[in-house]
Structure 1
Amino acid sequence: MQKKKYSTGWRNENNTPSLSEVFSSVYVPKKKGIWRKFFAFTGPGLLIAVGYMDPGNWATDIAGGSKFGYMLLSVIFISNFFAIILQHLALKLGIVCERDLAQACRDHYPKFINFILWILCEIAISACDLAEIIGSVLALKLLFGIPITWGVLITVIDVFIILFFQYKGFRYIESVVAALIFTILICFSFEIISSKPEIFSILKGIIPNIEIIKNSHSFYISIGILGATVMPHNLYLHSSIIQTRDYPRTFEGKKMAIKYATIDSTLSLSLAFFINAAILIISASTFHKTGHTDVKDIMDAHKLLTPILGKLSGVFFALALLASGQNSTLTGTLAGQIVMEGFISLKFKPWIRRLITRLIAIVPAMIAAIVYGEKGTSELLIISQIILSIQLSFAIIPLVCFTGDYKKMGPFVNGPIIKISAWFITIIIIVLNLFLIYDILL
């Protein structure tokens, strides 16, 4: 028995399924065609893509586009490539080891290290929830004129909306997320057409430019974009929700699951890239082009969009923001539950867990709204993305280590190309974050 435990690479042999209430609950046809299987695995990728188009992305993309035009498109493109690789590793960990990333850390590291990782992850989730609150609050103000302080309190209702869909079944959550993403897509398609961007400048912006590193301001925004694009809590989330699929827990079954889950993830993140790029392109073609190079927040962007592109453009912008905030709320709740149950085996009722996370995020949002108003909430949005960027390293390193360990992954261990790529991405992220901390301290 001891030998068997050692061969798996995990201390705990009898692992409790992640999100046990929905574990293996989505039917996967065993002998149907490719498209039926692909449809069965479609969903988790969309939930992950939500984190890559949340309100935190808006502030950094708007600031980057207005200040530097299309130049930072390359940063979004590279960040999205990083995300595709990292999410592939996350889903592979969940499928092969039947553990989410939090459970894997608990079954590998000593208690002290686990406690630190858990605290850091909780801080990141609270920072992410803060971005969701601010996005929803600003959208409510833009659409209905609701004051910022009242909007912050209204976001508590999200707790009950999420619970309603969670009890209906996991496919219901995926359907709601898909509908909201489709809403965002339609809104930004309209904005892109209205802003009439320069195609040649867009293609040029996708090519990396050395000026991004030379200019301290563009470098600072680039790290913010990285933090807003590659979300640490998504790595925990993806490794868990992929296990909701009822695929055979055999070698062939896991191989099939990895194949279709990777396709789902890659296509969904490509959609997220389009939306992120659209925000920056609209900012560049609307603000930078007309000399408004200091647009740093969502409210300023909305005020300028309406006179430049028309009233309908402002409405679509606010509607997409509201959909983005609500979508991120759904995935943030699940991530919080996964992290707490995975790291410390502590289970709360979903509504209690959600209420705790939301209240932690509401306090700074309310203080900023009362003391500083709109500007304060916008500054908090940028700060939340910097926190996420710094925490990212502490999620990536364990993920890359686990998926590169033959004892844990067996024949599914990362190949040489994936292993080199994953460590290259990890080193880049660590170096960028060290530069960021150095810059902040000085």
Structure 2
Amino acid sequence: MDYSASQLNELISFLDGLPEPRIVMDADYRIVAANKAYRREYAGSGSGGVASILGRRCYEVSHHFTVPCDQAGESCPLKLSQEEGASRRVLHLHHTPRGEEHVDVETTPVRDQEGRIVYFVETLRMVQQASSRPAAQGLVGRSPAFQQMLEKVLRVAPAQATVLLLGETGTGKELVAQAVHEASGRRDSPFVAVDCTGLTENLFESELFGHEKGAFTGAAFRKLGLVESASGGTLFLDEIGELPPALQVKLLRLLETGTYRRVGGVDTLRADFRLVAATHRDLKEMVRQERFRRDLYYRLNTFPIHTPSLAERREDIPLLAASLLERVDHRPGRHFSAEALAWLAGRNWEGNIRELRNLIERATLMSDGEEISAAKLAEVADDGGESRALAEGVGGGADDSFRVPGPLPLAQLEQRYLTWLMARPGADVRTLAPALGVSERTLYRKLQR
């Protein structure tokens, strides 16, 4: 029995009552309907409103691709749902009236009375915790490594599972922890961060658990601990690998019993927080060396998330640079030259985002004009002249060097640069991707755009 027009209208009527944008597609990727929320969010994305998308394929509308997502290096939730006969969820970059945005996409099959799949309903949930464009706050990125991290954040955030953030120093672990908090059901309660570096036993207990009046010399009043301050919210323990063994025992007891006592107190209090921990240390190796408790490690390692270094997400550097410039410098119209962005993307960043931010802030203080050049960045870099040599090589004056007429939006700059690269003799995706520090999938996707 075919799915009748009346049944389709009934489905659309049901979807109109739901808050998230949803579209209905057939097995050939064609959009056959859109609910009110989709029309409200996306009707302005093209002339003719929602009518302009009906009959078009979803990948044309969402990605501006000419082929399905899975043929352009992306995971296609419709294809996966079709193959498995069940709902599938992926994180994508979608074109919206505001530009490209991170969207959590879930595709669900719709069956007729005989159990055959006749349509697919795609639900689109905009990700508020990260931006694919320069932003004054929060997480910023669009590389595959960044998207893999963000997808894990969105998966674990609604749960109560303990999250362990693992990555090099300066990769933005506290911002990731805040994203977990903001995407969770605890978002309206406090986010409390604790730096575990250098904590002594007495200071750890007093800071974490609080103390009663008179508990020790100088305790003139009762103090609430950070565990109590984080009640109902998220407790973020940064650099957990720095905790000495004696404090690891106290933390383990808190996590195992869910209770604690203030220093000098007798009442047992119940803790109510979601734990996110972070470290740049190799905790597995520390466990093998008996420098970190095995039982605590497995308490913390419920849901590990790797925070990628800049070397793993090199293509995000121009985007991050523009965002950091906006955050550290409030001078209107200040921007990087094309050569400066190329210089930043080609440099090694041992300190990751923290080092990048510091260098940009120094450059803003030392620059008088509206444009920050590669030479100025090299001048303020503290690396023994290596950066100055690199800056001299950017755009090096050769006849075939990459040039632009002036400041351009990042997306347009990237488009021009890739076009110039692909026009060079012997250029192909397989050889260019490693040189650019991106995967072949990512480069193919950018070229398709």
Q: With CA pairs under 8 Å and 6+ residues apart, which has the higher RCO, 1 or 2?
A: 1
**TM-score bin (small chain):** under 0.3
More strand by share: 2
Q: TM-score of the superposition, structure 1-length normalised?
A: 0.21
More helix by share: 1
Q: TM-score of the superposition, structure 2-length normalised?
A: 0.21
